[in-house]
Structures are given as C-alpha cells and as structure tokens.
A and B are shown apart, each in its own frame.
Chain A
Amino acid sequence: EIVMTQSPATLSVSPGERATLSCRASQSVTYNLAWYQQKPGQAPRLLIYGASTRATGIPARFSGSGSGTEFTLTISSLQSEDFAIYYCQQYNNWPLTFGGGTKVEIK
C-alpha cells in the first residue's frame, strides 16, 4: 500500500496570502495524484488531477505541481471560501489511498 503523507497538518494563513501544501508518497505514483477540498459538512470536491490539471470550474488561483513522490498544491491568494481541509489521493496503484489532510485556517 502506498502511504500518502501531507504536511503541515494545519496551516494558518491570512486572506490574500499564498498557501503551499505538501503531499509525499511512500513510492512513486508518477503523475497519478489528485487534490480535493472539503468544507465542514460537505463532500470532498475535486480540485486537481494528474498532479497539475485543474478540474472543471476550479479557479486559476489553485495550482498543482510535482511528480513521483513529491507534490504541492498552491493557492496563490487565499479567499474566504478557501479555508477548508485539503486531501491528496494517489491513484497509481490499488488500493487507492488518501493523505491525512491539511487544514487551512484563518490566521
């Protein structure tokens, strides 16, 4: 099983600032990495797939990068609606696995 590790667990950021979230895989997942956003009481929403491709309707301030074992989600200028928990997920191998999440909170 591929273990996904996200850091930091919590990120405190002021509105308008840049947020950088990390996700590390225990072995290479090539580009088969997705990012999701989850707000309280809601289902996860797909943000990024293929490590860097934005899903339909996702604002350009969200960007993904990386390959192999190291990945980054960047939110260029945090808006109030961006404060949430973010999960990465690898789909290179079965079983599909998620990271533990990074909570982005208001500083």
Chain B
Amino acid sequence: QLQLQESGPGLLEPSETLSLTCTVSGASINNDNYYWGWIRQPPGKGLEWIGTIFYTGTTYYNPSLKSRVTISVGTSKNQFSLKLSSVTAADTAVYYCARGFNGKHYMDVWGKGTTVTVSS
C-alpha cells in the first residue's frame, strides 16, 4: 500500500529556509506514470499548489513561489524534498506531499501533512 510521509522542522524563524522531505513507501518514485508534488494550506485557508517533480528531475513550480522554491528527488532513498527560502509568517501552513499522474495532474495519494510555523 502506497504511503507518503512528510518530515522536517516544525518551527522556523523569519528569513530561514524551510526544508521538508517526503518519504514514499509501497512504490518506487522512479515510475513514468507518476509525478510527486507539494501542496500547502495556511491555517483556516484553502489549498495552494507549490510544485511538482518527475523522477527525471523535471520540475514545475507555482510562479508565486518560484523564486524561493526548489524541489528535488533523492532516488536512492525513495524520497523527494522541498526547500523554501527566506520564509515569513505568511509561509506558516500545513505542508502536504502527494502523488499525481503523469499527464493528468490530479493527486490521488496524500501524506498526512506536517505543520510548519514561522515565528520569531
């Protein structure tokens, strides 16, 4: 059974870099049929797509975050990662990783999410 699990620091100070990892179990991320993505949800608000990566390293980013975001794949550990630089309080959110389909980018399997708070 496919499972995704987010991990990383839960508290950051403004200007720091957010670093999260999504560990995939039950399937390999090296698969032409799927892509892997990050989505976030600020407290009490809706969902915001951050970016997407294929196992080959091809990435797509939300233009609103593109200057600060890097998503990468760590194939040796069946993981992919998110880095978001220069965080502010506006980056406080629950961060989810998810699997989507190559060519049809809806997301069928989600991690449980991890809360990241930015505060001084």
Contact = CB atoms under 8 A, between A and B. Distances in A.
A4 to B, nearest CB: 10
Interface of B: 37, 46-49, 52, 60-64, 96, 100, 104-108, 110-113
Interface string A44-68: 1110011000011000000000000
Contacts of B47: 36, 44, 87, 89, 98, 101
A15 interface: no
17 contacts: A32-B104, A34-B107, A36-B47, A43-B111, A43-B113, A44-B110, A49-B104, A49-B108, A50-B104, A91-B106, A95-B60, A95-B61, A95-B64, A98-B46, A98-B49, A100-B46, A101-B46
A50 B113 CA distance: 25
Given A97-B49, A98-B46, A1 B63 contact: yes
B63 A43 contact: no
